[in-house]
Amino acid sequence: YPAYPPFVCAGQNGCLGHYTGSGGSLLREGELLFLEIGGCYERYHAAMMRSCYVGTKLPAVLASAEEAVAKAMEIAMAAMKPGVLAKEVDAKAREVLGSLGADFTMSLRSGYSIGLGFYTDWGEAQFFKMDPGSDQVFQEGMVIHLIPWVQVQGHGGVGLSDTVLVTQSGAKSLFDCRDLPRRIHLIPPPAHRPFGPEEARKVRSVLGLEPTPLVKISDGFPGVAAVYVKDESKRMGLQAFKVVGGAYAMLRFMCKRLAQPVPETSDQVKLVLEQELP
């Protein structure tokens, strides 16, 4: 289990470090969602921040924050080499974020070491941290949670952090950022979501789905003529209906990685499944 719970908060609450909103909160169109989530394997941790926006296009202020935070990450990672002072890399990140203006607040530190962790902390800032006063020196093999994030007045937090490994040529992310690029991810509002009747028809066609049969299980009782149930054991030979969405999601993921359009027939699906992911 991770030493911290997932931090999930919307709007201005995204400016609060290590905050998770109540389960009853609903995302609204035009709202920013801030996520900080860690994974754990045999007590070793890796953490990541990402931000999302409910809408079809980022407001200019958030687009500027996205660009600056992503740039600060790239510059810091390039500078994180053995022998370099932590405060020097912190200064490079702050120089980028400082150009945003007065409506943006930077974090107190731009990174800290991460590794073995137990409740209630996965970080090791007591051993190594990146802030203006740190005279500590990077060493090859260090693992750092790099977090040059900003708080945007009136919107919330924009964080695009990665857990990175210090090497001779700079820091390398431990994540495959092709799947989770460092940008603010758009969440389409209900009226703009791509999955509608047309997409549903495509799913049925691609996966070769047919209506599952109704089976009569009772002649009924007063006021009810008969009782039927849907026999989902006939669906795709999988004996369940819930896996259909997962199968289609995996197909879309594979097509994205292969840079191919989503197939429209079951024969085209077979061709996709025969390929190896890059």
2 domain residue, yes or no: no
Which is more confident, 269 or 135?
Answer: 135
In this structure, are 226 and 155 located in the same domain? no
278 domain residue, yes or no: no
Query: 122 is written with which tokens?
Result: 């996965």
pLDDT bin (cut points 50, 70, 90) of residue 27 is confident
Contacts of 218 (CB under 8 A, 6+ apart): 226, 227
In this structure, are 148 and 234 located in the same domain? no
Q: Coil, strand, or helix at residue 76? A: helix
Please check whether residue 21 is in contact with residue 4, taking contact to mean a CB–CB distance below 8 angstroms.
no
Instruction: Estimate to the nearest angstrom the gap between the alpha carbon of 64 and the chain centroid.
Output: 20
In this structure, are 162 and 48 located in the same domain? yes
In this structure, are 39 and 84 located in the same domain? yes
In this structure, are 163 and 264 located in the same domain? no
* DSSP 8-state code for residue 13: G
In this structure, are 183 and 210 located in the same domain? no
Q: Where does a domain end: 187, 221, 243?
A: 187
CATH code of the domain covering residue 58: 3.90.230.10
254 domain residue, yes or no: yes
Per-residue burial over 32-56, b if 16 or more Cβ lie within 10 Å, else e, is bbbbbebebeeeebbbbbbbbbbbe
For 78-132, write each residue's pLDDT tens digit: 999 999 999 999 999 999 999 998 889 988 899 999 998 888 888 888 899 999 9
172 domain residue, yes or no: yes
| % residues pLDDT > 70 (the chain) | 89
Average pLDDT over residues 134-145: 97
If you count them, how many residues does the chain have?
278
Domain assignment of residue 233, given as a range: 194-273
Find which of 7-21, 156-170, 183-197, 260-274 is predicted with most confidence, using mean pLDDT.
Answer: 156-170
Residue 37 pairs in a beta bridge with 48
Mean pLDDT of the chain: 87
pLDDT bin (cut points 50, 70, 90) of residue 143 is very high
For 68-82, write each residue's pLDDT tens digit: 999 999 999 999 999
1 domain residue, yes or no: no
Which is more confident, 11 or 247?
Answer: 11
Query: How many Cβ atoms are within 10 Å of 255's Cβ, its own excluded?
Result: 17
In this structure, are 207 and 183 located in the same domain? no
Nearest alpha carbon to residue 51 among 61, 39, 41 = 61
Q: Where does a domain end: 164, 187, 210?
A: 187
In this structure, are 163 and 257 located in the same domain? no
d(CA 263, CA 173): 32
In this structure, are 126 and 54 located in the same domain? yes
Q: Per-residue pLDDT for 192 more than 80?
A: no
* pLDDT given at position 191: 67
Tally the domains of the chain.
Answer: 2
Q: Per-residue pLDDT for 6 more than 80?
A: yes
Q: Where does a domain end: 121, 155, 187?
A: 187
In this structure, are 181 and 216 located in the same domain? no
In this structure, are 70 and 181 located in the same domain? yes
In this structure, are 182 and 201 located in the same domain? no
